[in-house]
């Protein structure tokens, strides 16, 4: 015997109830999936992700997002030198990882609160954080160690290329051309960008041999192109 109309209607109602229950379960799963997605209010690149345990127990951020196009450099300046540092001063940044390359920036902020640092000798040193905004991108990774030079003042000085200065037994010397090579002792000062300040030891009329060989001695015949 076939099913009665009442039985068919009953089965249809049961099927509709099961469908509604399945739709509710599907919506619950979708809601749970949405909660697993973390959305940031700011655009950037995810640079680190902490575990749930570290984020809840250690107070660390769950996710760190960095704007890779807006990197900043933070330098630690001693309490003796920080008095000379001002906002907008010119900064040169270098890295041992990229020898011979340098990047330009400016001082954008100087910290008011000092930080204590214990030196290798055990003495406590006071340092202030200085923030530097780079004017161009730098290939260094986040957290990289960099070499920072802050230009606190400008002065016109006599200088020579580093390649013109030799170290002879702890003394800096250069060779000038006076028919033959003549060695002269010089006193050096500041250095920057491959140039070294010459404080004394030369006159304006001296013709300096820019890249003398290590074996060059006074009295050697030389020609300057």
CATH number of the structural domain spanning residue 124? 2.40.30.170
Which pLDDT value is given to residue 39?
A: 77
> Of 163-167, 190-194, 202-206, where does mean pLDDT reach its minimum?
190-194
Confidence check: pLDDT of 224 > 70: no
Residue 191 pLDDT: 78
Query: Are residues 174 and 116 part of one domain?
Result: no
Between 81 and 33, residue with greater pLDDT: 81
- Per-residue burial over 115-154, b = 16 or more CB atoms within 10 Å of its CB, e = otherwise: eeeeeeeeeeeebbbbbbebeeebebeeeeebebebeeee
Structural domains of the chain, count: 3
Question: What is the residue range of 188's domain?
Answer: 155-225
pTM above 0.85, yes or no: no
Domain assignment present for 108: yes
Residues 62 and 124: beta-carbon distance below 8 Å: no
Q: Is the model's pLDDT at 45 over the cut of 90? A: no
pLDDT reported for residue 80: 87
In this structure, the answer to whether residues 79 and 118 fall within a common structural domain is yes
Do 161 and 222 have their domain in common? yes
Residue 172 is predicted with a pLDDT of 93
């Amino acid at each position: 015997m076939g099913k009665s109309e009442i039985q068919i209607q009953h089965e249809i109602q049961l099927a509709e109830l099961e469908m509604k229950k399945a739709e509710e379960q599907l919506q619950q799963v979708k809601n749970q999936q949405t909660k697993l997605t973390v959305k940031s209010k700011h655009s950037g690149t995810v640079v680190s992700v902490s575990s749930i345990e570290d984020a809840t127990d250690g107070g660390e951020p769950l996710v760190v997002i960095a704007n890779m196009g807006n990197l900043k450099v933070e330098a630690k300046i001693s309490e003796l030198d920080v008095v000379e540092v001002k906002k907008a001063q010119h900064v040169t940044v270098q890295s041992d990882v990229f020898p011979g390359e340098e990047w330009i920036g400016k001082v954008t902020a100087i910290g008011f609160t000092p930080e204590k640092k214990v030196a290798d000798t055990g003495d406590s040193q006071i340092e202030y954080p200085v923030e530097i905004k780079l004017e161009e991108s730098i290939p260094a990774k986040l957290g990289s160690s960099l070499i920072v030079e802050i230009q606190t003042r400008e002065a016109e000085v006599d200088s020579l290329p580093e390649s013109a200065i030799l170290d002879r037994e702890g003394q800096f010397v250069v060779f000038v051309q006076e028919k033959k090579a003549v060695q002269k002792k010089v006193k050096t000062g500041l250095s920057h960008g491959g140039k070294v300040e010459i404080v004394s030891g030369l006159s304006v009329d001296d013709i300096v041999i820019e890249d003398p060989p290590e074996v060059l001695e006074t009295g050697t015949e030389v020609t300057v192109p």
